[in-house]
């Protein structure tokens, strides 16, 4: 169990977001409601133009799976671009 917690903590450091006991935790989520609203997204200096791309269900908030999908796609694109 302790190893799993440590692994999650290390993963959080690498990605800046992780799920703990079913929760989505990201420093941009200043309201701590497990979702990132556009104002939080922009305040955290994430690209404003990317918010709509990340918000797959169009509810105006980024949940954990949406963030992970957006971040994974962004990193894959950056790898393809050689950055």
DSSP states of 10-77 as a string? HHHHHHS-EEETTEEE-TT-TT-SSSEEHHHHHHTT--GGGHHHH-TT-SSEE-HHHHHHHHHHHHHH
- Say yes or no to pLDDT of 22 above 80: no
- The pTM for the full model equals 0.70
- Say yes or no to pLDDT of 61 above 80: yes
| pLDDT tens per residue, range 23-60 | 889 999 999 999 999 999 999 999 999 999 999 999 99
Query: Which pLDDT band, with edges at 50, 70 and 90, does 20 fall under?
Result: low
Query: Which pLDDT band, with edges at 50, 70 and 90, does 7 fall under?
Result: very low
Domains along the sequence of the chain with CATH? 2-80 (1.10.238)
């Amino acid at each position: 169990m302790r190893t799993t917690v440590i692994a999650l903590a290390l993963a959080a450091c690498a990605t800046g977001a992780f799920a703990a006991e079913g929760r989505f935790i990201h420093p941009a989520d200043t309201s701590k409601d497990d979702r990132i609203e556009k104002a939080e997204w922009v305040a955290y200096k994430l690209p404003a133009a990317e918010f709509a791309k990340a918000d797959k269900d169009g509810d105006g908030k980024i949940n954990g799976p949406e963030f992970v999908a957006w971040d994974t796609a962004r990193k894959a694109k950056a790898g393809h671009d050689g950055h």
